[in-house]
Amino acid sequence: MCNQAPRTSVIGFVPRGMRPRHSVLLLAALVPHAYSWVAHLHRATLRLDVPPPPTVWMGLLEEVARRRNLAIISHPDAGKTTLTEKLLLYGGAIHQAGAVKAKGEQRRAKSDFMQIEQERGISISSTVLTYDYNGKRVNVLDTPGHQDFSEDTYRTLAAADNAVMLVDGAKGLEPQTRKLFEVARLRRLPLFTFVNKLDRPALSPFEILDQIEREFEITCCPLLWPIGCGDRFKGVLDRRDGTVHLFGRGVRGKQAEELETLALDDPRLEGALADSELFAQLRDDVEVLDGLIPPLDMARVMRGEMTPVFFGSAMTNFGVQLFLDSFLEIGTPPMPRALDAKSEEFSDGSIADDAETVDPTSQEFSGFVFKLQANLDPKHRDRLAYVRICSGSFTKGMKVKHSRLAGKELILSSAQSMLGNDRTTVEDASYPGDVIGINNPSGTLAIGDTLYTGARRISYSKIPSFSPEVFARCINPTPSKSKQFNKGLAQLVAEGAVQQLLERGEDVVGAVPILAAVGPLQLEVVSSRMESEYGCAVTFETLPYQHARWAMAGWDAMDQAQAAGKLMNVRKLQDQYGRPVILFPSEWRLNTATSELGESLALRPYALAPDIEAKRKSKK
């Protein structure tokens, strides 16, 4: 069977005459256990190429099967960056984890490399951390927890295959956790839950499970169960094999010392716990769990109906390695990615049931830009585009096409693999699930752009944006630094850190731009980065507006509405692409305008980067 690659129809890896469900048997036969979890797959999957040679086909399938890509989401201060550091520690990528709030000469968190992140002790930018562990290639996407940086988190979730929801064991579900869960559900990401901070007094684990099931309407399946909490936190029960892992408190930043591993029915367990009350509680908990909790069903996890739950402590390292090993075993490898249907320019990021998708094992390369970052190396003023590979493989020097700029081809002379702000040049091929950094000195690449090879022009689903709610003039108090001011602001706007608005017809050079942000902390970040990275201090003058809407019908429609007296007490500006934007001083004024002008002006809460064809048509 393996002597010849099967001929394929338009359904990925489905030989002619074979139904999609039967293809699972073919995959399982070719690579044992590689895709045993795809029995749920129903939708048609597009092949971008003719079948590759058998050795290439098998090699690509094996590489895809060993990829694990995850984004960690949580409310601020739930321990997200700490967990990320410990995943790197146990994966062997670093030898000592640094707490975010480290002082003096102590190590800083690998994923928090900006000066303001280290000073404030918070994550403000998503970070990619790639390493190999136990035969798997792991791509960890650390995301900001603060709501002012939700847009960066949403973009990162678009690049993820799995989401890990981190819950503070003492607080349970919190507002930002709820919001990000809904985004993960819209993106159809399998959800894994890690309940953190069990080394502190915490809620009952049953209460936390009940919260998750009641609010999210999802079944919880705990795989690691805590034994005590706070000072009495002794370890965890691995319910899959019935073993109890007892931990000793390790040195901060080092791997925890596992004192003993005993079977649940081992007569030595009660003595090892040295707490008869905890032993009795564990017995009672196991009886309840075995009687009420359904077994793990990965098909239900893939459908968003069940979440595996793990308990532990990232700070003291309890349960982290068990979680990592379990995730690598049952987590989802790269799946088919949905293409942009072009039926609706503005989307909430959800994936339709009938969306056309691209198979990750297609020989043709494809990927999309989900993040831009300037000054990872401040000495060289670099600009990097983060590209999530979706199909085929990347090789150094390959030529790709640009979906948004018709006819544009790029030569990817080099790419970089990231571990925070540490980068290494990619010498070998990169595969679906990997995130690579592409140099973007001229700003050709924008967030949401698709890069691809092959004859067919494709574009992946758009990445949702947030409507800004904070507006301020950005003032350069030092005219002699206008060059640094213009360059720095242009690069930060390209990153998506903020949006830049101007008066109609105004040129960006010499103008006093208006910055639009989701929250005030974004403006603080702009101020800090402008000073530390570009040597130009800025000040802000807050404007009395609360909402923004893009008038996609264009300036002619805007002028007609203005002449009819329907645009009173609003501010009319243009975005960086010259499109009209209306600022509203209140929600009442916004609702009134939406009711009267929503259709005629095609008002939208955000706008995506236009393709070159759309811009040409608008000028005719």
Residue 171: the pLDDT is 94
359 closest CA partner among 568, 67, 61, 116: 61
415-442: pLDDT as tens digits: 888 776 677 888 788 999 999 999 987 8
- Does residue 33 come out as left (phi exceeding 0), alpha (psi in the -120 to 50 range) or beta? left
Residue 180: the pLDDT is 84
Which parts of the chain have pLDDT scores under 50? 1-44, 97-113, 343-348, 613-620
Are 193 and 212 contacting, i.e. CB atoms less than 8 angstroms apart? yes
227-281: pLDDT as tens digits: 999 999 999 999 999 999 998 765 555 555 667 899 999 999 999 998 899 999 9
Q: Is the dihedral of CA 116, 477, 574, 605 positive or negative?
A: positive
Residue 222: the pLDDT is 98
Domain 470-619 fold is Alpha-Beta Plaits (3.30.70)
Beta bridge partners of 129: 140, 419
- For residue 251, give Cα distances in angstroms to 98, 162, 254, 317: 12, 30, 5, 10
Provide the whole-model pTM. Answer: 0.80
Those residues with Cβ within 8 angstroms of residue 484's Cβ, 6 or more apart along the chain or in another chain: 534, 535, 536
Residue 119: the pLDDT is 56
Residue range(s) occupied by CATH 3.30.70.3280 in the chain:
470-619
- Measured distance CA(499)–CA(530) in Å, rounded: 15
- For residue 334, give Cα distances in angstroms to 91, 160, 593: 20, 9, 43
H helix or E strand, kind and range, residue 117:
helix 115-120
516 closest CA partner among 465, 592, 588: 465
- Measured distance CA(440)–CA(252) in Å, rounded: 39
Residue 494: the pLDDT is 82
Are 544 and 585 contacting, i.e. CB atoms less than 8 angstroms apart? yes
Residue range(s) occupied by CATH 3.40.50.300 in the chain:
69-122+148-329
H helix or E strand, kind and range, residue 499:
strand 499-503
H helix or E strand, kind and range, residue 401:
strand 398-402
- Measured distance CA(391)–CA(364) in Å, rounded: 7
355 closest CA partner among 335, 383, 378: 335
151 phi and psi angles, rounded to 5 deg: -60, -40
Are 511 and 548 contacting, i.e. CB atoms less than 8 angstroms apart? no
- Measured distance CA(47)–CA(68) in Å, rounded: 22
466 closest CA partner among 549, 528, 543: 549
Residue range(s) occupied by CATH 2.40.30.10 in the chain:
20-65+339-452
Query: In the CATH scheme, what is the code of domain 20-65+339-452?
Result: 2.40.30.10
Residue 56: the pLDDT is 60
Residue 18: the pLDDT is 36
Identify residue 169 by its one-letter amino acid code.
G
39 phi and psi angles, rounded to 5 deg: -60, -20
Those residues with Cβ within 8 angstroms of residue 199's Cβ, 6 or more apart along the chain or in another chain: 229, 230, 233, 249, 313, 315, 316, 318
263 phi and psi angles, rounded to 5 deg: -70, 150
Residue 296, classified by CB atoms within 10 Å of its CB into exposed (0-12), middle (13-18) or buried (19+), is: middle
- Does residue 362 come out as left (phi exceeding 0), alpha (psi in the -120 to 50 range) or beta? beta
- Measured at the CA of 434, the angle between CA 42 and CA 460, to 5 degrees, comes to 50
291 phi and psi angles, rounded to 5 deg: -85, -30
Those residues with Cβ within 8 angstroms of residue 9's Cβ, 6 or more apart along the chain or in another chain: 15, 16, 47
Are 205 and 176 contacting, i.e. CB atoms less than 8 angstroms apart? no
Residue 414: the pLDDT is 81
| CATH number 3.40.50.300 is the correct assignment for the domain at 69-122+148-329 | yes
87 phi and psi angles, rounded to 5 deg: -65, -35
- Measured distance CA(525)–CA(532) in Å, rounded: 10
Scanning 147-297, the segments in alpha helix (DSSP H) are 150-158, 175-186, 205-216, 269-273, 276-292
- Measured distance CA(468)–CA(605) in Å, rounded: 8
Are 15 and 7 contacting, i.e. CB atoms less than 8 angstroms apart? yes
Residue 25, classified by CB atoms within 10 Å of its CB into exposed (0-12), middle (13-18) or buried (19+), is: exposed
Residue 214: Cβ within 10 Å count: 10
Cα 465 to chain center, whole Å?
A: 13
571 phi and psi angles, rounded to 5 deg: -115, 125
- Measured distance CA(80)–CA(19) in Å, rounded: 42
Residue 344: the pLDDT is 38
